[in-house]
Structure 1
Amino acid sequence: MFEDIISGLSAVTHPSVIMAMVIGTTIGIVVGALPGFTATMSIALLIPLTFEWSALVGLAAMAGIYNGSMYGGAIPAILMNIPGTPAGIVTTFDGYPMSQQGKASLALRLALLGSTIGAFLSAVVLLTLAPPLAWVALAFGPVEYFWLAVFGMTTLAALCSNSVVKGTISALFGLSLGTVGIDSITGVHRFTTGNPALMDGVPIVVLLIGLYAIPQALLISSTPGFSGHYTKWKETAVSLKDLVQSWKVALKSSCIGIVVGLMPGAGGNIASFISYSEAKRSSRHPERFGKGEPDGVVASETANNADNASSLVPSLALGIPGNSVAAVMLGGFLIHGMRPGPGLFASEGTVVFGFMWAMLLTALIMLVIGWYGSRIFALVLRIPSVLMAPVIIVFCVLGTYSLRSSLFDVALMFSFGLVGLLMIRADIPLAPAVLALILGPMAESELRRAMLIGRNDISILFSSPIALTLVALILAVVIGPPLHRCWNRYRRQKPFNTTS
């Protein structure tokens, strides 16, 4: 194994491979910054072009697109409150307020450093622990996935802290959308109204673009002047203290992202929400979150990038894709004659470990490109509103249509845009709706599978150590804050002991 790691490093330093990583990372950042254009789509379009390339060159380009696109989603999230990727939703919570305060450069570079740290540590885990950690994925069944989804839903408490009622309305809206489509257990059509476009449910990207991008474009168009608050670069210089004071949050968020990435189907969306909730819970100043707190940006971006390489662990070692991007990458391996599984490391050790090195090196390439490119990204705020709004809408239409080449999706996007505008006017948070659409169907389907396996015996939900651990974490998140407040109130009211 050690010899394969060394030979993989030697192979990945070839000029053609390095060029593929640089080009792939650049494309990934651009793609991630465009609403509706996902890493999955970009890699799927790239795979046919790799027929004539060597296996490692093609895989290195895919690694660059994967890492770059996850950071690229933070750029519009910070500058325009429009998440480029679903995982970028959490970045909008504090990234956009920082941009409005004239700290766009700081937010972009904090997001970049968090993304780099998460991607780098995740690649280290993939490179050193892939075979043994792959078996962690096999320990998760329907019961564990159900509790994981419920644990993700508990982060709604952090998102709805300002108004529980309004947050609940938003979450119920997302849960209702999650019931649309063909029932995964019985095959019954639910709320499709006979429309074939709804058989697969409401696409998460369509909801994301509709709720976030369209209302923001309309709000920008109604505001005279520029599309955001721009401050000269020299006035917002990033000091070393600003960059290193969040290292504890970055380390904790990396661990969360890596663990979530090991679970097939979980994804960076869940990792971001859980990491943000944990960062807020453990912060000395939780009231600053949602108002431009740097730790919020670091937590989100670190976690969703730490999911990248770790999601490939079950893919390479067991042939089980961790998410949609990993599934497409499996296709890239198969096209080049490599079958993922336990025998892959023995038969194609140099190429496989070279790909792992590419995941690590593209994280560093992303740091260089993003560091010097963040100055250019921030200039978006100097674009006049009358020009920015139509450009956003055009890219939204193109991104939505490219998903399934469906005009129905475009109409659905504009419908969600109107709903999103009404929600913003009514001060109803948007994030719970998106989180509920992601986790609701997952919780429902896994619960029903677990009950079928257990013959409707509810005790199966508490039959494994992992399930009991997740239940304990859920109780800690739900009950912990009220108990902490009651304890503090009791200590304030308790009279001081006096001695005579």
Structure 2
Amino acid sequence: MEILYQVALHLGDPYIFLAAAAGVTWGILGGAMPGISPSITMALLLPFTYTMDPTGAIVLLASTYVGAEYGGSIPAILIRTPGTNAAAATVIDGYEMNKKGKAGLALGISLYSGVLGSLFGLMMLMLLSKPLASVALAFTPPAYFALGVLGLSVIATLSGESLLKGFVAALLGLMIATIGTDPVTGSNRFTFGSSDLLTGIAPVLIMVGMFAMSELLVQASDRSEGSKVQSRPRMEFPGVKLARRLALPQSIGAVIGTFEGVMPGAGGTIASFMSYNEARRWSRHKEEFGKGSPEGIAAPETANNAVAETALVPLLSFGIPGSNSTAILLGGFLIHGLVPGPMLFTRSADVVYGLYAGLFVAALSLFAIGIMMLPVCIWLVNRPRPYLSAFIFALILSGIFSIHASLSDLAIMLVAGTVGFFMRMLRIPFLPAVLGLVLGYLVESSFRRSLVLSGDDLTIFFTDKVSLALLVVAFLFVAGSVGKRLLDALRKRPTGQYSEGSE
């Protein structure tokens, strides 16, 4: 009750309101720009916080994080381009709803679920920060390896019609993840003498290339005029019946988002894909997933917005930044002489309570500002396809170039787009490739560090209780998915009628 009282007192500070609203607005714009990640959006603001009040500066940066995580869903739904890594799962059904003329409803579900995820994540941050942080500290390298394997187990259900093609795509993603500096020895791998590849290939380059550029290439190869998407030029929120249907996937997303957010290194991408997978597993309308299911939007959007709040748990309680975005926020703390950790709650309690109040305002601002901005985005969908394609192409190039001002990034993105185009032609799903790329470093580095700790003894993965539990869950996921595929194949096999005397 003391926390709620202190937060209520800080809600009366107009400076916090202004900082939260400004952060959300800038975050939505940054998240909606392909190639501009939440961390980059926050980093652009960091120099302007030097002269600000500490509480206002922290609220501004944290609110930008919240806005950017939601903003990534806008291009994901409208132009098949995930604005952020975590929005990749939203592309699957969000863009399909857009193609059916339901862009307004898809964006409304995304906003509605994002606000719920933010509020739930804030509640978890306020009430369970220390207990959850203690769980995060229990994660050892074997546990992080098992966590990565658990994320990869989702590939079995993202492989579409062919499980083999799904694993080939995942293997491609894992191979790309090995490019750069070895996480243990520090030697260069597969860089071909290029200094631009020493830090590896950023997932956003592959994602934008495979999702967006491949879509532009497909549209360019289609000589038909194409039908204009007749989306309603206004925000459309789900009705009572649909809201009830979305309650379960939103609950799944909130729980998984909370768990993944408090684990350093996990992040919104893993949470989004796992939430999507579990929402489909427990849905009564499994056949709609991948074809424009509203549940396929609600689950990942609730998850990645919950992550934006709960990712602050290890940062505030122990000073551990679990992602690039929280590392930028850590920089904001240090600029103002604040050191996140257990003593922060006693030495600078006002900043913590002000941050809680600012995040609450940010969630509400997200709803109001989102309503004002999204009709413009829906209007863009109905523009003539040549103009829209040219605009999207320019947007992609400018967004990718702005990351490092590097022509190499543009080249990598274009190559990824070409590969994605041929994968589409061969009906090879590239979602497993993206997931393999995102999880590749976590799996490899954790596996090798575990072997260093155990002296190459593989039993360390089974003697660690957290690792063993996660590996068992991953095995059950894969076994269940493969078993379901085998049962479906047996059911579809023709029984055949045998006449008398025939063998």
TM range (shorter): over 0.9
Deviation at 1:423, TM superposition (A): 1.5
Does the 8 Å contact 1:127/1:357 carry over to 2?
Answer: no
Q: 1:181: which partner in 2?
A: 180
Q: 2:32: which partner in 1?
A: 33
Alignment length (residue pairs): 491
What CA distance in whole angstroms lies between the structure 2 residues aligned with 1:324 and 1:226? 40
What CA distance in whole angstroms lies between the structure 2 residues aligned with 1:78 and 1:52? 38
The answer to whether the aligner puts 1:96 opposite 2:100 as a matched pair is: no
Q: 1:474: which partner in 2?
A: 474
Q: Superposition pairs for residues 8-19 of structure 1, below 5 Å?
A: 8-19=7-18
Q: Secondary structure at the match of 1:114?
A: helix
What CA distance in whole angstroms lies between the structure 2 residues aligned with 1:324 and 1:62? 13
Deviation at 1:23, TM superposition (A): 1.6
Alignment TM-score, normalising by the size of structure 2: 0.93
Moved more, 57-66 or 86-95: 57-66
Q: Superposition pairs for residues 116-265 of structure 1, below 5 Å?
A: 116-221=115-220, 229-233=229-233, 238-265=238-265
What CA distance in whole angstroms lies between the structure 2 residues aligned with 1:351 and 1:469? 37
Q: 2:108: which partner in 1?
A: 109
Q: 1:494: which partner in 2?
A: none
Deviation at 1:388, TM superposition (A): 1.5
Q: Cα RMSD over matched residues?
A: 2.3
Q: 2:497: which partner in 1?
A: none
Deviation at 1:486, TM superposition (A): 7.5
Q: 1:61: which partner in 2?
A: 60
The answer to whether the aligner puts 1:410 opposite 2:410 as a matched pair is: yes
**Letter of the structure 2 residue corresponding to residue 92 of structure 1:** V
What are the superposed Cα offsets for residues 427-452 of structure 1, whole Å, 9 maximum, x if unpaired? 22121111101112211110111111
Alignment TM-score, normalising by the size of structure 1: 0.93
Judged with a 3 Å threshold, the aligned counterparts in structure 2 of structure 1 residues 398 and 233 are, in CA distance, closer, same or farther, namely: closer
Q: Superposition pairs for residues 69-468 of structure 1, below 5 Å?
A: 69-221=68-220, 229-233=229-233, 238-468=238-468
What CA distance in whole angstroms lies between the structure 2 residues aligned with 1:243 and 1:31? 29
What residue ranges of structure 1 are gaps of 5+ in the alignment?
Answer: 492-500
Q: Secondary structure at the match of 1:246?
A: helix
What CA distance in whole angstroms lies between the structure 2 residues aligned with 1:315 and 1:235? 35
Deviation at 1:94, TM superposition (A): 0.7
What CA distance in whole angstroms lies between the structure 2 residues aligned with 1:118 and 1:183? 36
What CA distance in whole angstroms lies between the structure 1 residues aligned with 2:201 and 2:42? 23
What CA distance in whole angstroms lies between the structure 2 residues aligned with 1:55 and 1:199? 36
Deviation at 1:259, TM superposition (A): 0.3
What CA distance in whole angstroms lies between the structure 2 residues aligned with 1:17 and 1:207? 37
**Letter of the structure 2 residue corresponding to residue 474 of structure 1:** A
Deviation at 1:30, TM superposition (A): 1.3
What CA distance in whole angstroms lies between the structure 2 residues aligned with 1:395 and 1:489? 43
Does the 8 Å contact 1:155/1:277 carry over to 2?
Answer: yes
Deviation at 1:468, TM superposition (A): 2.0
What CA distance in whole angstroms lies between the structure 1 residues aligned with 2:235 and 2:66? 30
Judged with a 3 Å threshold, the aligned counterparts in structure 2 of structure 1 residues 104 and 489 are, in CA distance, closer, same or farther, namely: closer
Deviation at 1:226, TM superposition (A): 7.4
Does the 8 Å contact 1:257/1:303 carry over to 2?
Answer: yes
What CA distance in whole angstroms lies between the structure 1 residues aligned with 2:15 and 2:479? 55
Q: 2:496: which partner in 1?
A: none
Deviation at 1:227, TM superposition (A): 8.4
Q: Secondary structure at the match of 2:200?
A: coil
Does the 8 Å contact 2:231/2:382 carry over to 1?
Answer: no
Does the 8 Å contact 1:227/1:381 carry over to 2?
Answer: no
**Letter of the structure 1 residue corresponding to residue 166 of structure 2:** G
Does the 8 Å contact 2:235/2:375 carry over to 1?
Answer: no
Judged with a 3 Å threshold, the aligned counterparts in structure 2 of structure 1 residues 235 and 78 are, in CA distance, closer, same or farther, namely: closer
Does the 8 Å contact 2:10/2:353 carry over to 1?
Answer: no
**Letter of the structure 1 residue corresponding to residue 384 of structure 2:** P
Does the 8 Å contact 1:79/1:228 carry over to 2?
Answer: no
Q: Secondary structure at the match of 1:420?
A: helix
Does the 8 Å contact 1:213/1:417 carry over to 2?
Answer: yes
What residue ranges of structure 2 are gaps of 5+ in the alignment?
Answer: 492-503
Task: Report percent identity of matched pairs.
Answer: 38
Judged with a 3 Å threshold, the aligned counterparts in structure 2 of structure 1 residues 366 and 227 are, in CA distance, closer, same or farther, namely: farther
What CA distance in whole angstroms lies between the structure 1 residues aligned with 2:71 and 2:464? 39
Does the 8 Å contact 1:80/1:228 carry over to 2?
Answer: no
Moved more, 99-108 or 12-21: 12-21
What CA distance in whole angstroms lies between the structure 2 residues aligned with 1:200 and 1:222? 34
**Letter of the structure 2 residue corresponding to residue 298 of structure 1:** A
What CA distance in whole angstroms lies between the structure 2 residues aligned with 1:114 and 1:304? 10
Does the 8 Å contact 1:4/1:349 carry over to 2?
Answer: no
Q: Secondary structure at the match of 1:366?
A: helix
What CA distance in whole angstroms lies between the structure 2 residues aligned with 1:285 and 1:460? 41
Judged with a 3 Å threshold, the aligned counterparts in structure 2 of structure 1 residues 232 and 487 are, in CA distance, closer, same or farther, namely: closer
Does the 8 Å contact 2:126/2:356 carry over to 1?
Answer: yes
